[in-house]
Structure 1
């Protein structure tokens, strides 16, 4: 869940460095005409990348010899809530992933339930928009299998990940982090709900008990502390309506790499 200035703003000439004046950039995206250009640029970027990726559908995978000695834990290092503290005390034995919204069969899956499903292990590079990268080994259940188990209702277009971590008060007043991807990325074989990193259960700083890995997008899309997956047909009823915590503050929704 890395965050900083978006690459899109740089590429279209915002003139602000990636580690610099975020307030100035937010002022830019409040301008309706500039925001319209940004949205069009994002759509063009997404379309171009998906055309290219149709011939190279997988992000590059590495070997254990390539694992980074240090993998930075970015964003929230531990959700600050009594509910999450109680889950930690029980080693997440009482935690359940809720899958609801536009599904045929709402689900509540324990960590044991998820670990009993078919898993995938992949060694990939995490690219943060702040400019750093690290290679880690992730194991989890493919998101597509969970969605298949729930069954999608007609019209469902996006999977929204509601998380346990808080930042500043969000646009809906909750402060809760959330992210979303469309069903193209949701069904991609490397999009997994990861419960293990480098052969061990996820540490709290890395998103325990469950985090999203969507390997063809930048780090801030990899939501940590996932509590609920909601299937929706649009973002209009979600916080700022842009599909993610940082997207509501001007970041690009499609963060493909």
Structure 2
């Protein structure tokens, strides 16, 4: 089983890195990766569905990602992607040392709730040393501390029929003439309730830096890096992903990446 998981990890990292490079390069011959309805892209998307189903069946819902010893932390966590959001809301919070910050849980819940950073830090916490795998081909082992997401969702009361959690961020990952495009991604509720899925506010025994997602970053440890949203401010519980972005479940997913992103 371990060999199967390792081989699948290598395949995912290689294929995802190649695919993302094609999209970002802007080469016209690979425009189909960003074209909804293109038959080649639809074949790839169906393969992603099979991968998701196979991993759920083979690995199980609650199997943990590997955790490491502190001696295996070789460097600081590499900042990647957006490292300094410039939206007015985020800049205000940063100048106020994130004191006014609140995480909101809404959507298909019994009650909409919100929590300050201090309230989240006062909840039971979990610390884990895990490996972050990026589609660009690099990995980094780091120690993360935060509040398990599952019990936070329970305080809102997830309604029957809910299937996904959509994670909304302050990160203005793209600027266009019509305004900023903000980062978002999503997961199913299995990953949201996984014991290693935490709302991280600490990194390597320090307060989470802005460059790594302060004040709060979600860690879904069995997924690739783009499924670890930084600058998180709202979690929306839903039964359908189609109303968000281009309907694929996330910013990068809307641009051709695998929705599941599992390792």
- The answer, yes or no, to whether TM exceeds 0.5 is yes
- For residues 88 and 103 of structure 1, the distance between their equivalents in structure 2, rounded to whole angstroms, comes to 29
Structure 1 unaligned residues grouped into runs of 5+? 1-6
Greater helix proportion: 2
Give the secondary-structure state (helix, strand or coil) at the position aligned to 2:104: strand
RMSD over aligned CA atoms reads 2.3
Structure 2 unaligned residues grouped into runs of 5+? 1-10
Tell me the residue number matched to 1:126. 132
Give the secondary-structure state (helix, strand or coil) at the position aligned to 1:175: strand
Residues 32 and 38 in structure 2, CA contact (< 8 A), matched pair in contact too: no
Residues 142 and 191 in structure 1, CA contact (< 8 A), matched pair in contact too: yes
- For residues 173 and 94 of structure 2, the distance between their equivalents in structure 1, rounded to whole angstroms, comes to 19
Deviations 1:17-67 (A, max 9, x none): 764564343434526211221111001111121222129801000011011
Residues 192 and 214 in structure 1, CA contact (< 8 A), matched pair in contact too: yes
- For residues 85 and 257 of structure 2, the distance between their equivalents in structure 1, rounded to whole angstroms, comes to 22
- For residues 121 and 216 of structure 2, the distance between their equivalents in structure 1, rounded to whole angstroms, comes to 11
TM-score when normalising by structure 1: 0.89
Specify whether residues 28 and 69 from structure 1 end up closer, same or farther in structure 2 by C-alpha distance, changes over 3 A only: closer
Deviation, 1:239, is: 1.4
Aligned residues: 248
- For residues 240 and 220 of structure 2, the distance between their equivalents in structure 1, rounded to whole angstroms, comes to 20
Deviation, 1:68, is: 2.7
- For residues 155 and 56 of structure 1, the distance between their equivalents in structure 2, rounded to whole angstroms, comes to 21
The structure 1 segments of at least 4 consecutive aligned residues displaced by more than 3 Å after TM superposition are: 7-12, 16-22
Residues 163 and 238 in structure 2, CA contact (< 8 A), matched pair in contact too: yes
Matches within 5 A, 1:81-230: 81-169=87-175, 174-230=180-236
Specify whether residues 227 and 21 from structure 1 end up closer, same or farther in structure 2 by C-alpha distance, changes over 3 A only: closer
